[in-house]
Structure 1
Amino acid sequence: MKHWTQKLEISYDGSDKTYGIYIKVQGDIINLSVKYKSSGKESYTYEGTDRVTGRKVVVVTKQKLSWYLNNNGVESHTEVESPKGIIVTVPATYTVFSVVPIKNK
């Protein structure tokens, strides 16, 4: 099932090396705080919490999260590709979803 996000913001706090991922979709807010954990073959893993619920989250990307800070992503919704996506897992609820950023014009 696909939903268009109303807002997507990715930020970085250099003082504690934490990435913030803020997503608003259909009135729901997801506000994550994650730190780099490890990298593997073609993937980067970040762990942290959902600031709204306090639940543990795991974020996996094929690009470093820092790549998204520079307005990187796909050109339009017709070019959505999984390598450009951010995969979020909430283990406590078995929830998995992905977000594909579209560049600001």
Structure 2
Amino acid sequence: QGTAPSNLYINGRYILQPEIFGILESQERGAGNEIQLTDAMLKLEKKQPFYGYHYKGRTFDCGSPEGFVEANVAFALWRSDMNASMAGVIRTLLDEVRPVERRGAAF
């Protein structure tokens, strides 16, 4: 934690040149013993320019269960056709639902 080389991130939307596929074919496995697209992008970046877009809007970390739920709730609340009904559902759930201790397998 706290050792990232940058405070920037990639949100998973790419427009890549076809040359990336040649690099991926010979790419060694990286983190998680998987072929990493970002490793291939670093190699391609040495041969051709890359461009990014500095997004200033709201982002969500969907890599955790809480972040995934937060993103979906926010999406529903942003929609004009769902805002009122979902706000009501959330209020009702906050009044009715009590936390329970998890036991055994995840559900």
TM-score, scaled relative to structure 1: 0.21
TM-score, scaled relative to structure 2: 0.21
Higher relative contact order (CA 8 A, sep 6+): 1
Higher strand proportion (structure 1 or 2): 1
Higher helix proportion (structure 1 or 2): 2
